[in-house]
Amino acid sequence: MGRLSVNLCGIALENPLIPASGTFGHGYEFADYYDINCLGTFSFKGTTREPRFGNPTPRIAECTQGMINAVGLQNPGLEATVNEELPKLRAVFHKPVMANISGFSVEEYRTVAARLDREDGIGWLEINVSCPNVHGGGMSFGTSPEAAAEVTAAVKAVTTKPVIIKLSPNVTDIAAIAKACEAAGADGISLINTLLGMRIDLKTRKPVIANKMGGFSGPAIFPVALRMVYQVASAVKIPVIGMGGVSSAEDVIEMMLAGATAVGIGAANLIDPYICPKIIEDLPAVMDRYGIENLNDIIGGAHNG
């Protein structure tokens, strides 16, 4: 175990960097740029039972220090993911990968989880109860402790893999939802997904994106994400993956001090496809600057004293 190594739900990672779902495709796309085996792991594109084209275009809007997206869970569906996407990934990535699952019913979450549970090479199931860009699913399951717990229990019943629940920041008490997921058997929590935002075109006087509203991400949301990671890490005993506006080695260390065991990189991948290897390369020097010998020594460090 090197000084960057961490353990996420019983699986060792060489470093805590995890490109977030929706920003890294199925992974093999980024293998054209660099050896993606340098990553701790990554969470691949959210998978639903049936293929989804996603929301109407336009569905991306730039913002100061961020972006709004309403892609709407575009993905090839469960069977194409298993039969076409995962074989391409296995050819270039030789570590356990995180599968991200979305659904429009508890039964859909259960079905997709049960199928992906059988796939070698998948280390964790990340259950997205927090997508703000779809109607009738996604975030609707993550806005109440009872609904989030119901999805958690349903998935835990059909898998032997660690289950990580991805939470929405668009709630009043995120710690209560995290605690409900933990009580229902969750092995970890990841947060935050995007904040709900919008832009209006001054010329047309209409919303920029067809969906009107979408998920706001990027450096501007980092302080909100950090606060919520801190709150959730205080409330649960299971590992937390912190994400939201992370774009530097310093941000990674700050997230870990707030209580994150691993750190997700989202919108930054869309700005600079090399951002993850750059952060991994920068981490040792930044650790030295702040007197950090091993990353495990700082997890939750901001809660002390």
Q: How many CB atoms lie within 10 A of CB 147?
A: 16
Q: Which of 9, 131, 181, 276 is catalytic?
A: 131
Burial letters 213-248, b for 16+ CB under 10 A, else e: ebbbbbbbbbeebbebbbbbbebbebbbbbbbbbbb
Question: What's phi and psi for 73, nearest 5 deg?
Answer: 60, 40
The C-alpha angle with vertex 25 and arms to 199 and 55, in degrees rounded to 5, equals 40
Q: How many CB atoms lie within 10 A of CB 88?
A: 14
Q: Are 67 and 220 in contact, with CB atoms under 8 Å apart?
A: no
Q: Is 131 in the active site?
A: yes
Distance CA 110, CA 286 (A): 42
Catalytic residues: 131
